Amino acid sequence: MKAWMIENIMQLSEGVQPLSLYDLPVPEPGMGEILLRVNACGVCHTELDEIEGRTPPPSLPIIPGHQVIGTIVKHGPDSGKYPPGTRVGVAWIFSACGSCSFCRSDQENLCPDFKATGRDVNGGYAEFMVAKEDYVYPIPDSFTDVEAAPLLCAGAIGYRSLRLSGITNGKTLGLTGFGASAHLVLKLARFMYPESKIIVFARQPEEREFALQLGAVWSGDTSDIPPISPETIIDTTPAWKPILYALRNLAPGGRLIINAIRKEDSDKHFLQQVNYPSDLWMEKEIKSVANVERRDVYEFLELAARIPIKPQVEVYDFLQANQALHDIKHRRIRGAKVLRFEHSSA
């Protein structure tokens, strides 16, 4: 099978090809595992975090990709919940131990033995992949392969962020950054909290215009002062600057949710400008989002099918994986990016 692999940690600059194309044997599913023929795989900023060393894989080379839509073609021992031919998804959570205090208290995302798809084990930038059967999700028929892929990470992590935000109907929600996850959060929030106003902070004019098209009542630059102070802000950027301005724009008692696996260090100096009286006082809160639980994926897929939520998708051929990563790196973004394999029918 053909597979893209991360071979080395590097800084992604123009002209650098971060992934190498391999010909590998088709993997064999082990105990409780299934073999998938991959139809589509979302491209996420987290892949850049892996490549550039902010959340490095424990060993190299590794096949990245954690927004995987595939069809079951083979079962390993002690599997068979889903018959061959079933279309399923694989998300960032590849597995957890199931026995620690976190797993026993519905917090498997905090498990010390948490395994991430495409970082700790091989992921979906390949024609075939192996997954734990207990950690895959049937995909509603209403979604094509490329529509479903971003729902597994950008959608599920956005749903978790919204749950952790504590927002209630009628309160104002702010979003910083407007890529794959934030545009799905906006669609979800408009359905769940129809009386709430949504404002968007984004660096690129195209992103700000896109947010208005999707129903934001206001959009501006990261450092702009909005006409209303949001009670909740969800940050989906890889940068530190939006954190500083989000804190300043939060209403008293507001909560900032940081939805990012890692932050880049290039603008870390903005943290030195945090002023306690104006930025943190008045009982403002900061909460990070760590990974996802299976519950987040199951619940969001059901909700997305019912609303329905269809992501804005840019489709790339499987062989264009390096180009897709460069486009994310250089903020050439409108919605979500997805690799589509030749045999996929959607």
Q: Does domain 157-288 have CATH number 1.25.10.10?
A: no
pLDDT tens for each residue of 215-242 = 999 999 999 999 999 999 999 998 999 9
The predicted model gives 304-317 an average pLDDT of 94
- The residue ranges of every structural domain in the chain are 2-153+292-340, 157-288
CATH for the stretch 2-153+292-340: 3.90.180.10
Are 2-153+292-340 and 157-288 in the same CATH fold?
no
CB 224 within 8 A of CB 246: no
Cα separation, 291 vs 182, whole angstroms: 16
Q: Give the residue from 56, 74, 67 showing the smallest Cα distance to 8.
A: 56
Give, rounded to a whole angstrom, the gap between the first and last alpha carbons of the chain. 21
pTM of the model: 0.93
pLDDT tens for each residue of 181-208 = 999 999 999 999 999 999 999 999 999 9
3-state DSSP assignment of residue 161: helix
In Å, how far are 165, 198, 248 from 244, measured between CA atoms? 18, 19, 7
The predicted model gives 106-131 an average pLDDT of 98
Cα separation, 122 vs 22, whole angstroms: 13
**Backbone region of residue 307 per phi and psi (left: phi > 0; alpha: psi in -120 to 50; beta: other values):** alpha
